[in-house]
Amino acid sequence: MTPKKRVTIYDIAKRLNLTASSVSRALNNSIHVKEETKALIVKTAAEMNYKPNTLASNLRKGKSQTIGVVMPRINQNFFANVIAGLEEATYKRGYNLVICQSNESHQKEIQCVNTLINQHVDCIVISVCVEGDDYSHLQNVIDQHIPLIQVDRVVDSLDTLKVINDNEQASYDAVAHMIQQGYKRIGLLQGPQNMAIYRQRTAGYINALKDAGLPFIDELVVASALTRELGAISSRQLLNLPQPPDAIFASTSDFSALGVLEVATAMGFKVPDDLGICGYANEDFTEITSPSITTIDQFSYEMGKTVADLFFREMDNKGKEAVIAPRVISVRPKLIVRSSTRRVG
C-alpha cells in the first residue's frame, strides 16, 4: 500500500488531454470555458476523487479564507458560545476558523497571535486575557494590515473594531432593579479594575446608586471576587459586618453569585427576603438554584455572529484590502429577573 499521491489538476488534465489551466478554470466555474468541457472536467474530477489543495490555492491567492480566534478559554460558556456563533456565520461564507486558547496566559496569547499571523489568516478575533499590559503583539497585527476585531474583553487603547457588551448599562439596570425591589444597602463584588469590563460594571453600580439618591458605601465593595470560592469568602466578610448589606451584586460572574447564595443560606439569611443576589452571565445553573438567581444575559452566541457579520460586511465593501474601521459595537445585555431578587410585585 504505497502512500499514493493525491490527484491534482494536472492528473485530470492529462487524463483528458487538456491543460491544467483549463481544469483550474472549469473547477472554479469560470465563464471562459465551454460548458461542455467544463461538465466533462467536473465529472472526471469527481470520478478521480479529486480534492483541491487549499494550501496551494491560498498561497497563490495570498489569502487563506480563514479567521483566527484567540480566547482565554474555549470551554467556558461565554467564550464557547461566542465561538459557536462565529462558526455558524463564517461557515456559511466558506470560511474556516483556527482557534487558539490563551489559557489566560499573556505569553501564550502572544504565541497564538503570532501563529495566526504566520498562517496568513484573513482576520484575527480576540478576547484578551486578564494578564498583561503590553499589547505590542496586537499592534503588530494592525501594522501587518490584518483586520483585528476585539470581543468583550477589549484593550481600549488599540484602534480596532470592538464588539462589547454595554456592561455599564446592564449593571445599572441590575442595581436599579434591586433598588426598585426595596434593597437599600447593596454590596458589590467587583472584578479586577485594570480591565475595562469590570470598571464599567462598577460604574453602572455607582450611577444607579447615585440616581436613586443612595450613598456609595466603601465597606460594601469587595475587590476581585471572581470565583465561587472568592464569592463565598467575600460575602462572608460582608455579611459579618455590623451593618451587613441587604443585597449583593456579584458583578464578576454567576459563579461568585453562587458562592454568595451558598454562604448566605448557610448563615441563615433568607434569599431574597433578607438578602437579594444578582449575578452576571446567565450561566445555565442560575435557573435551577433555589432560589433561582437573577442575572444578566450577554447574548454571547449573537456576539459571535455579529463579529463575523461585521467582518464580512467590511470585506464586501472594501474589497481586497479589508481595512476595518475602528469603532465600538455595543450589544445591550438583558437583565433576567429571577427569584433571588424578587421581593415585591
Partner DNA sequence: TTGTATGCGTTATCAC
Partner DNA sequence: GTGATAACGCATACAA
Site residues for DNA per CB under 7 A: 5-6, 8-10, 17-22, 24-25, 27-28, 31-38, 50, 52-53, 56-57, 59-62
Q: How far is the CB of 103 from its own copies (least distance, A)?
A: 8
**Partner whose binding site includes residue 205, from DNA, its own copies, none (CB under 5 to 8 Å by kind):** none
Choose the contact partner of 327 out of its own copies, DNA, none; CB within 5 to 8 A by kind. Answer: none
Residue 334 bridge partners (DSSP): 297
Cβ proximity to its own copies: between 146 and 221 the closer is 146
Q: Considering the complex, what minimum distance in angstroms separates the CB of residue 327 from its own copies?
A: 19
Nearer to its own copies among residue 196 and residue 336 (C-beta): 336
Q: Which is nearer to its own copies, 121 or 220 (CB)?
A: 121
State the nearest-atom distance from the C-beta of 76 to its own copies, in Å: 8
CA–CA–CA angle 333, 261, 185 (5° rounding): 75
CB of 51 to DNA, least distance (A): 7
Q: How far is CA 179 from the centre of its chain?
A: 30
In the list its own copies, DNA, none, the entry touching 46 (Cβ below 5 to 8 angstroms by class) is none
Interacting partner of 316 out of DNA, its own copies, none (Cβ under 5 to 8 A depending on kind): none
| Burial environment of residue 212 by CB neighbours within 10 A (0 to 12, 13 to 18, 19 or more) | middle
| Nearest distance in Å: CB 124, DNA | 18
Q: Of its own copies, DNA, none, which one sits near residue 224, judging by CB under 5 to 8 A according to partner kind?
A: none
Q: Which cell numbers in the block locate residue 42?
A: 467536473
Q: Of its own copies, DNA, none, which one does residue 284 interact with (CB within 5 to 8 Å by kind)?
A: its own copies
Q: Residue 18 binds which entry of its own copies, DNA, none, with Cβ cut-offs from 5 to 8 Å by kind?
A: DNA
Cβ at position 173, least distance to its own copies in Å? 25
| 3 or 213: CB nearest its own copies | 3
Please state, in angstroms and rounded to a whole number, the distance separating the CA atoms of residues 343 and 180: 10
In the complex, minimum distance from the CB of residue 41 to DNA, in angstroms, rounded to a whole number: 9
33 binds, among its own copies, DNA, none (CB under 5 to 8 A by kind): DNA
* Closer Cβ to its own copies, 41 or 179, answer by number: 41
Residue 251 C-beta: closest distance to its own copies, Å: 20
| Shortest distance (Å) from residue 140 CB to its own copies | 7
Question: CA 252, 328, 306, 133 torsion: positive or negative?
Answer: negative
Give the max Cα distance, the chain.
91
Closer residue to its own copies in complex, CB, 242/319: 319
Q: Given CA atoms 114, 115, 120, 125 in this order, what sign does their dihedral have?
A: negative
- Residues near its own copies (CB under 8 A) are 3-4, 6, 49, 51-56, 58-59, 64, 66, 73-77, 80-81, 83-84, 87-88, 91, 96-101, 103, 108, 114-115, 117-120, 140, 143-145, 258, 283-285, 288-290, 301, 321
Among DNA, its own copies, none, the one that 195 touches (CB under a kind-dependent 5 to 8 A) is: none
